[in-house]
Structure 1
């Protein structure tokens, strides 16, 4: 069992710290504990709509103060991946400011003419015309990348179709599957660790979903903590072929453990 000291904390956002823009009890105290402890940390999200600056502003409205450089999105991870794969490349992008800004910042050209990649991100305004163009570009040889595989997302009025659903539509039309960058691909975790120059064996990943947060943390070699305030219900945990390292009621249970290098009082009911 891994008993290395904990130097780095990664945590999902929605379902762990907030529900939409409603803070979860203990979230601000947890962030403050991270900042005062001197531990390295990042907040991770599969949402590629917003830039880190946007997300900082949204969190501030929820009473949670996080510097934008402490926020790592699937859009940033996608841009980093494409920069490493094909520096100075080009892409046809379906998405909003989060992904277009990230790609622009790494020197990518956004074009409809013979792009290296079709990049599909999250958006609230998918258009039939844009999807049709993406299909034709992929058929013509563009490589298909998607920021995250989530098939639906939350809204005040109920579920919304997300990147994974639109990717499935494009895949059905082209016969080409996208390469998904966001969770549960451990690549997103590795990119976060690299950003912090951290090691997986001294890092904890906190999440609310067994199929994304816990799976990607596990596959990246981290210890994992599942909170009961999000998508995965406590009675569902045992249905999976893998388990989190620890299960806690909420982020509030971790506030007092942040400063400890080797927490010895985890809640472990699972």
Structure 2
């Protein structure tokens, strides 16, 4: 038979167990809410970054149900000359729906385990992802950003090309020379034809994989009436002739049949210049 003291202790232990359980639940929830603050800050940063990207992103996180709602404003293909714009948008939306939620859920739940977020282990994160057409303002901004990006790319490309041409001109003027460029008869398939002959000399320190020479055809008044480009030096895997670079200190003789390249008023006089080179990659 239980003593009065034992009867009194039973409710006391019950209250202690209940209190301990409530404290544990409180700590789990508090730790989860604390971690949710960092997650919400990350969400806000993503939303801010999305304003500078090709997509507008809206995210909300319910820290109690761990439901993450994401809405992506899908931009149209603002290139009107693309006939596959609608197909591309549809495929992009399908891929987001198929891959996006599971990937994000896995990342969030993995992060929760790493941070000992037991609440999120018991109530895993779930992602609900939807898409919607971008607003007219967003489309206008995307068009503006794309045009700006294209202008920047074009400017950078033009600057790079200008720098390349400066480098080429400097190397050509200081280190390359054409010698004995002349018109002389040559032989082709047993008959005599007009040819242009000469020699390229590389006095610089760089080996060249390509040298392009422009031949100008002159009339009786020494006026330029036509032109043709030739590459006496050309290193390529598809070459079936001389495939060697023009190394520092080397000379390269060349000769070309110009019978089919000359205009009718050609007086068998020429001018020549090196217009382009490519350095051999080391």
Query: Of the two structures, which has the highest relative contact order with CA contacts closer than 8 Å and spacing of 6 or more?
Result: 1
- The TM-score normalised by the length of structure 1 is 0.18
- Structure that is richer in strand per residue: 2
TM (normalized to structure 2)? 0.18
Structure number with the higher helix fraction is 2
